[in-house]
Amino acid sequence: MDFVRTINQATRKLPAWPIYIVAAVYVGWQFWLALNQSGRYLVEPINELEREYGETALLLLIAGLTVTPLRNWFGLNLIKYRRAIGITTFFLVLAHFLVWAVLDVQSVGRVWQETVKRPYVTVGMAAFVLLIPLALTSNNLSIRKLGAAGWRRLHRLTYPAAILAGLHYLWLVKGFQIDAIVYLAVILALLMVRFLRSRVRDRREQAG
Amino acid sequence: MANRWTNDLTADDVTPKQAFLNRRHILAGGAGLGALAATGARAQDALEPNTLEEITTYNNFYEFGTGKSDPANNAHALQIDPWTITVDGMVDNPGEYSLAEVLDGMTIEDRLYRFRCVEAWSMVIPWNGFELADLLNRVGVQDGASHVAFQTVVQPDNMIGVRRGVLEFPYMEGLRLDEAMHPLTIMATGIYGEPLANQSGAPIRLVVPWKYGFKSIKSIDRITLMDKMPATTWNGINPREYGFYSNVNPEVDHPRWSQATERRIGGGLFNSRQDTLMFNGYGDDVADLYAGMDLAENY
């Protein structure tokens, strides 16, 4: 697969840090547009910005989940970008949460009430909480301290977090909205692919 | 018989400073009675109408997509000429009426109403329209009729949301007959003196200002008088979330959105929330319609 080899060679030269820069510029730019109520932020900038950050976070979450299957099934090695994708995902979720908490519901009491009362908020908040230890341990020191196996086990929290995030969106929308369904379906498919792979591997090892 | 209701909301209608200060004082006391008095004063607050641009670019009209800007982008495809409204059921003069026939002899009034969406945002809209009661009286409501059902036109070729099957169409809404006959209930044909934009429900729509916005059905092509409560779209999808009455009520919580507060559209990124008014501030006019009813039960 020449195509895969070309990409793998190219990634050796391309560092991961620009991902953080692009993400920071993106977050700042969208905030600036919302602040100036420009374009689609004209009428209801709060809700629009909340959705923008939320949907981008969901896309990044999915991007992070594709790294391993791409390597396993196609030999495409993007692993060096995974940490940057993961940490960026967390910051987008944080931005989404902050817009909701500070600009939308506007009080600690209401943040709590909404979280307890509304299932779609509950699952969204749960996904956010699950991502916190992952963001905190996305560094080499933590991998050393936890040990590779322990670190990997901890970071499997990404899977329930992704499912909860997909559910959060599906639960939020009204009527039959195809994009919310597609997001959740893609997340489930990406997790299924992992599960299949590990079953195949188990069987091979047993046959060993 | 138009002009049964005097519009007490105008753009010049600013709360006197003294009333405002009193309200602060009363709220600080926190007494139940104080809150009641505050509601009366509140009803006069924030009456600056939203801009036409705000009113016509932030819409729910699922026939044209589920995003707030989808209707503005897609509703140009709606065919509104010719337009007929089928009036049937328990009426003396059923038939297919052209829009001109419907409008003939009707008095178009200006009505500046608060508009409160179930999604907890609100606007103030300067409608132009006539009282639904005038139309119902003309077609002759028969004895025994208790409810009015409305339908939105379905034009699959012109409606992307219909083709996608976002909801089951036609969109249906309904009112109890006394709600439909109430002088606050209008059939709107314009905003700011301009004909309704397609995304606002051209050429003719219902406006019931004390109910959540989804009751104010758009682009109506059928009105049916009946002797039972009609099926309505959102109520059919999720009866727990969307009651038949759906009166604006800060005390009846909605599973999705807190109804205690709302955000008035137009305040930018740091817009603060304000308390939602009972019956959207029209309690003095409409509370009698629900005398003796448990509104927590009949939400």
| Option in B54, B121, B269 nearest A103 (CB) | B269
A154 belongs to a structural domain: yes
pLDDT value at residue A1: 63
CB pairs under 8 A between A and B: 60
**Residue B225 — φ and ψ, nearest 5°?**
-90, 135
Q: How many domains does chain B have?
A: 1
Provide the CB-side half-sphere exposure for B43 (13 A, CA): 19
pLDDT value at residue A196: 87
Q: Give the three-class secondary structure for B173.
A: strand
Whether residue B41 has pLDDT greater than 70? no
β-strand partners of B175 = B148
A208 belongs to a structural domain: no
| B33 alpha carbon, distance to own chain's centre | 29
pLDDT mean across residues, chain B? 88
Chain A interface, best mutation among B123, B269, B274, B276, by max A CB count within 10 A: B269
B5 belongs to a structural domain: no
User: Which residue is associated with the tokens 């709220």?
Assistant: B27
Range of the domain at A10: 2-199
Q: Which is more confidently placed, B192 or B27?
A: B192
CB-based contact B112:B12 (threshold 8 Å): no
pTM: 0.84
Task: Give me B70's structure tokens.
Answer: 């989808």
Distances (CA, A) of A119 to A49, A59, A160, A167, B121: 22, 22, 16, 10, 21
Whether residue B67 has pLDDT greater than 80? yes
B6 belongs to a structural domain: no
When pLDDT is cut at 50, 70 and 90, the band that residue B9 belongs to is low
| Amino acid at the residue B171 | Y
Cα separation, B208 vs B179, whole angstroms: 9
Alpha helices in chain B (DSSP H): 17-29, 32-42, 52-57, 70-74, 99-103, 132-139, 160-164, 177-180, 233-237, 283-286
Chain B residue with minimum CA distance to A111: B258
State the DSSP code for A167: H
Q: Do A45 and B256 touch (CB under 8 A)?
A: no
Instruction: Report chain B residues whose CB lies below 8 A from the CB of A47.
Output: 68, 121
Cα separation, B289 vs B286, whole angstroms: 6
Q: Among candidates B49, B187, B180, which has minimal Cα distance to B129? A: B187
Specify whether the backbone of B95 is left (phi greater than 0), alpha (psi in -120 to 50) or beta.
Answer: left
Q: How many domains does chain A have?
A: 1
B296 belongs to a structural domain: no
Task: Give me B278's structure tokens.
Answer: 């009972």
Instruction: Report chain B residues whose CB lies below 8 A from the CB of A45.
Output: 268-269
Q: Which tens digits make up the pLDDT trace of B101-123?
A: 999 999 999 999 999 999 999 99
When pLDDT is cut at 50, 70 and 90, the band that residue B31 belongs to is very low
CB-based contact B4:B183 (threshold 8 Å): yes
Q: Do A176 and B270 touch (CB under 8 A)?
A: no
Q: Which tens digits make up the pLDDT trace of A52-99?
A: 999 999 999 999 999 999 999 899 999 999 999 999 999 999 999 999
pLDDT value at residue B19: 42
Measured CA angle at B255 (ends B273, B219), to 5 deg = 80
When pLDDT is cut at 50, 70 and 90, the band that residue A198 belongs to is confident
Cα separation, A32 vs B251, whole angstroms: 36
Range of the domain at B135: 17-290
pLDDT value at residue B22: 42
Residue ranges of chain A whose CB lies within 8 Å of a chain B CB: 34-35, 37, 40-49, 103, 105-106, 110, 113-114, 117-118, 120, 173-178
Cα separation, A199 vs B107, whole angstroms: 74
Q: Do B273 and A106 touch (CB under 8 A)?
A: yes
Once rounded to an integer, what is the mean pLDDT over residues A26-41? Answer: 96
The ipTM assigned to this model is: 0.82
Q: Do B68 and A34 touch (CB under 8 A)?
A: no
Q: Which tens digits make up the pLDDT trace of B245-277?
A: 999 999 998 888 889 999 999 999 999 999 999
User: What CATH number is attached to the domain comprising B83?
Assistant: 3.90.420.10
**Torsion sign (Cα): A175, A120, A102, B246:** positive
CB-based contact A51:A72 (threshold 8 Å): no
Distance from CA of A55 to the nearest CA of B (A): 13
A7 Cβ partners below 8 Å, 6+ apart?
A: A76
Distance from CA of B265 to the nearest CA of A (A): 6
CB-based contact B98:B83 (threshold 8 Å): yes
B3 belongs to a structural domain: no
A206 belongs to a structural domain: no
CB-based contact B189:B257 (threshold 8 Å): no
**Torsion sign (Cα): B80, B83, B88, B91:** positive
Q: Among candidates B266, B4, B276, B291, which has minimal Cα distance to B133? A: B4
B10 belongs to a structural domain: no
β-strand partners of B195 = B190
pLDDT value at residue B235: 96
| Amino acid at the residue A159 | Y
Q: Do A44 and B68 touch (CB under 8 A)?
A: yes
B7 belongs to a structural domain: no
pLDDT value at residue A2: 81
